Amino acid sequence: MSDCIFCKIAAGEIPSTKVYEDDTVLAFLDLDPQAPQHILLIPKTHIQSAADITAANSAVVAHIFEVAAKIAAEKGFSDGFRVVTNCGEQAGQSVKHLHFHLLAGRDFTWPPG
């Protein structure tokens, strides 16, 4: 999608602080961190939101969770982190390209706000 900011980040057209990258997934620091560790994980292909995950594209979602676990281990927070995706405006999704927030380094409340 030509007007999608996360597609542009995935293509290297907008800079980001990369944490991990392979052929299908990119992880980079959130610009407005909500925890001491706040990393975004995205598929490089455009999927609008969690509501658009299907049998045809879900392999990359499984891979994103593998990458999240790998990053958590490498950064030493495997024992406490949260993975969140906001789907749709009511849930606070501001960027319409599927992304998972990987948050760590502080206590988290439940239920989330």
Of 21, 30, 44, 46, the one binding Zn ion (CB under 5 A) is 46
Task: State the pairing for strand pair 100-104/18-21.
Answer: unpaired
Restricting to residues 4-23, which ones interact with Zn ion according to CB under 5 A? 4, 6-7
**82 alpha-carbon distance from chain centroid:** 11
- Judged by CB under 6 A, the stretch of 18-26, 69-77, 87-95, 102-110 that binds ligand AMP is 87-95
List all residues 6 or more positions away from 61 whose beta carbon is below 8 Å from its beta carbon. 43, 53, 98
**Measured CA distances, 16 to 9, 10, 11, 60, 84 (Å):** 7, 9, 11, 21, 20
Restricting to residues 9-38, which ones interact with ligand AMP according to CB under 6 A? 14, 16, 30-32
Q: Which does 81 bind (CB under 5 to 8 A by kind): ligand AMP, Zn ion, none?
A: none
Q: Which tokens belong to 104? A: 């760590």
Catalytic positions are: 99
- Judged by CB under 6 A, the stretch of 53-61, 75-83, 91-99, 102-110 that binds ligand AMP is 91-99
